[in-house]
Structure 1
Amino acid sequence: MDRVRVAELGQERLDWRFKAVPAEAWGLTVREYLATGPALDRLGTPLLTLDAGALEHNLRTMADWCATAGLRLAPHGKTTMAPALWQAQLDAGAWGITLANFSQLRVARGFGVRRVLIANALLDPVGLGWLVAELAADPAFSCLSWVDSAAAVELMDRALRAAGAERPVEVLVELGGPGGRTGVRDLDTALEVARAIAAAPTLRLAGIGGYEGALAHDAQAGSLAAVSRYLERIAQLYHRLRGDGLLADGAVVTAGGSAYFDQVAGVLGALPQAEVVLRSGAYLVHDDGFYRGISPLVRGAGATAFRSAMHGWARVGSAPEPGLALLDGGKRDFPYDEGLPVPQLVRGRGAVGGTVTAVNDQHAFLRGADVRVGDVVRLGLSHPCTAFDKWTLVPVLDDADAAEPRVVDLVRTFF
């Protein structure tokens, strides 16, 4: 990445655009504000924060796990859309950054990311024209994307020819599964797509892509078996493409979100002459919900589990009836698609019980908790992918469990 461009984020001036930032910080740069040593209590609610110690722990834990397993890691940058966190992941040994579309790719190129894996098909002619210019301007820039049909190959080839492409765009045949998301559904069709890629002068077949997370959503035996069967089909396709001379040594084989990367290692890790790349993205932040329950490092695939690095903070604004409190944070502030926020503690008073039973745009319904109007409740959250998109600037605390947490960084996002 372009370290200078990432460092320049520290010179951005704070103002009303950033809902996490108090008015007392307006007019200061990020660096100037951090130099004041702001405390958590100086920030308003609702609020999303990160924990510095948990981020570092997760970063090193995943890097060490991949090194031991002999796998590459191209973390899915869409989880955070935070260039400073991408830089940390690359510094820890990541092979590249995974993204999903042209708008995310433009952010990555704005910060100089040089190896990008697009876990999607790129068919938009306008975007492909821009990509041609980027590839021509930077010989060190590498971008791999997916295709799952001969029609997609034809559309890409047509758009790239029209844009005057000189460097072939690297693509992966995507293999899917019944009931899953995108991807060729059978090996024979995948072979046809691979041959179409090989025949297109503007494209180069670079490997195979897939996503097992679309086929399972828990860690039950049946789900784990379905994931393994799917990964075995990827291995079969790899051997067929190699046998037909369509894949060279060092071809990329990529799968592995944040839920089943241990199975990717077990099934695909031994493929001969393959560059096996995981795309896990949620590991860096982890959570107190979905990933806490399904992560391989919770299920025994590693000696050390990830730690949740994100928390919500919301204030009790109303207690209109016995057993019910309304918090001032809701769908606009915290993720809710993979489970509702979980109350953990009240600032200054310790652990709290109760349950969040529903969320509106700006409120959470907290029932059965011993709280008073004005209390600030820390919430455990589920699914980082839908947490970051609600915040343009996320404060990082030195220790979210401390009696008086301090803000040590501000993470800028670009959604």
Structure 2
Amino acid sequence: MSTEALARLAEERVDHRFKGLPPDADDLTVGELTAQRRNLFTDGFATPVLALSAERLEHNLRLMETYATRHGLAFAPHGKTSMAPQLFHRQLEHGAWGITLAMPHQVRVARAFGISRIFLANELVDPAALRWVAAELAADPSFRFICYVDSVRGVQLMDAALEGAARPVDVVVELGAGEGARTGVRTEAECLAVADAVAATDTLRLVGVAGYEGEVPQADPERVRAWLTRLVALAVDLDKAGKFARTEEIVVSAGGSAWFDSVAEVFAGIPELSLPVLKLLRSGAYVSHDDGHYRRITPFNRVPEEGALEPAFRLWSQVVSRPSPGQAFVNAGKRDAAHDLDLPSAQVVRRDGVERPATGIEVTRLSDQHAWLSTAPGAELEVGDWVGLGLSHPCTSFDKWPLIPVAEADGTVVDYVRTFF
């Protein structure tokens, strides 16, 4: 199914739905356009256009594969960052155990493209979605699905929706990251009550514990490690209480993109339990990385000997107005650039095939379709110049572009990544 579904992506017709692509490519299939190996800068692409670096994308995939292997971690990268089935499969090719997702409709996308192991890092109490999951499990014995639970009431709702299901749904108790954090059980006593509620059903099977350390209030290495230590202790206590009697392995899972070094450190100390332990890391933003939020907080900054991720996105825009010596406007705005955490950064200026650093040029504001640039005295910038922008927070970059060119360093476009948000 996955091969056929991915092949169908190449058969999709290029048209007005896909911004930035060459207008003269209309009615070509994506596969036909890919085969032409057009150049991003000289072969008809229109600004603004978002591009992924082919080399940096491959570097990031390889780096996290080796990182997980080195630290004895299974890896289920969070797919909600990209929602790109082609990238899901590349992550699996680079050793990923499966794919993490956040919402039922994302699970449907992943299943449509043949993903056989899915970790839903969220509670799931919607009856229609649960019945769909049950049908998928019944139809495909190889399908592995795990989701959070964090309340007795949630367990009851799941049990009612899944009545008569052929296979139980695997669940992990989500330990909350602290008072005032997001979802998750707040106390160990409540965790035990949730585990007991699961054990009282035939429709659910408790397979482990999980959570998200990125929600630890006032997160720092000490607080994050303390919460991760609680998570491991919870797994140990539930195992001693016999709560994993119906499973073959115990899942202990955490790991966003800011603290996976702490996850690796604490998980290395998980003691021997009654069953094999699946130490499941879920970091996802690495695949494209970024030029803002994650570049500042990546664990590789704290442990540089482990390697370094590389920002793989660049948003190419064009100067459309230069109304004063200190001001310019390019044709990319909120509809095109991630802006929920940081503004884009001006990196390079391109004119007549020559690139130079965007010295003295700063993005100060975004409108819907424009970025406001402040230009220092002597900054060389003219109407018609292309400005390459670095982006912050990949989670809100992919969702603005349904078809993204993947370009080599010289601008040759070698692939197109289809997203589904």
Name which of 67, 86, 107 aligns with 2:109: 107
> 2-side partners of 1:216 and 1:93: how far apart?
32
Name which of 81, 84, 106 aligns with 1:82: 84
The TM-score, its normalising length taken from structure 2, stands at 0.94
Does 2:339 correspond to 1:312? no
Q: Which moved more, 1:173-182 or 1:269-278?
A: 269-278
Per the alignment, residue 330 of structure 1 pairs with 333
Give 1:320 deviation, angstroms: 1.8
1:89 is paired with a residue whose SS is: helix
Give 1:96 deviation, angstroms: 0.4
1:262 and 1:301 in contact (8 A); partners too: no
Q: Which moved more, 1:299-308 or 1:355-364?
A: 299-308
> 1-side partners of 2:356 and 2:91: how far apart?
34
Q: 1:84 to 1:124 in 2, by over 3 A?
A: same
1:287 and 1:310 in contact (8 A); partners too: yes
Does 2:269 correspond to 1:275? no
Give 1:50 deviation, angstroms: 0.1
1:216 and 1:227 in contact (8 A); partners too: no
List runs of 5+ in structure 2 lacking aligned partners: none
2:21 and 2:49 in contact (8 A); partners too: no
Per the alignment, residue 213 of structure 2 pairs with 212
Per the alignment, residue 156 of structure 2 pairs with 154
Alignment of 1:128-147 (within 5 A): 128-147=130-149
Give the paired residue count: 405
> 2-side partners of 1:112 and 1:19: how far apart?
28
Does 2:267 correspond to 1:257? no
Per the alignment, residue 379 of structure 1 pairs with 389
CA offsets per residue over residues 40-91 of structure 1, 9 Å max, x none?
1221111111000001101011000100000010011111100000000001
1:315 and 1:377 in contact (8 A); partners too: yes
1:317 is paired with a residue whose SS is: strand
Alignment of 1:239-254 (within 5 A): 239-247=236-244, 250-254=249-253
Per the alignment, residue 195 of structure 1 pairs with 196
Give 1:12 deviation, angstroms: 1.4
**One-letter code aligned to 2:263:** V
CA offsets per residue over residues 188-225 of structure 1, 9 Å max, x none?
111111111111110000111100111267xxxx6121
Q: Once superposed, what is the RMSD of the aligned Cα atoms?
A: 1.4
Alignment of 1:278-293 (within 5 A): 278-293=281-296
Q: 1:406 to 1:32 in 2, by over 3 A?
A: same
1:331 and 1:362 in contact (8 A); partners too: yes
> 2-side partners of 1:301 and 1:104: how far apart?
34
> 1-side partners of 2:269 and 2:165: how far apart?
35
1:20 and 1:395 in contact (8 A); partners too: no
> 2-side partners of 1:105 and 1:136: how far apart?
16
**One-letter code aligned to 1:186:** T
Give 1:301 deviation, angstroms: 5.5
Give 1:317 deviation, angstroms: 1.0
> 2-side partners of 1:22 and 1:56: how far apart?
25
Does 2:19 correspond to 1:19? yes
> 1-side partners of 2:65 and 2:134: how far apart?
32
> 1-side partners of 2:216 and 2:324: how far apart?
43
**Identity of paired residues, percent?**
50
The TM-score, its normalising length taken from structure 1, stands at 0.95
> 2-side partners of 1:145 and 1:72: how far apart?
17
Give 1:338 deviation, angstroms: 1.7
Name which of 388, 391, 395 aligns with 2:398: 388
**One-letter code aligned to 2:17:** R
2:32 is paired with a residue whose SS is: helix
> 2-side partners of 1:366 and 1:285: how far apart?
25
**One-letter code aligned to 2:362:** T
Does 2:265 correspond to 1:266? yes
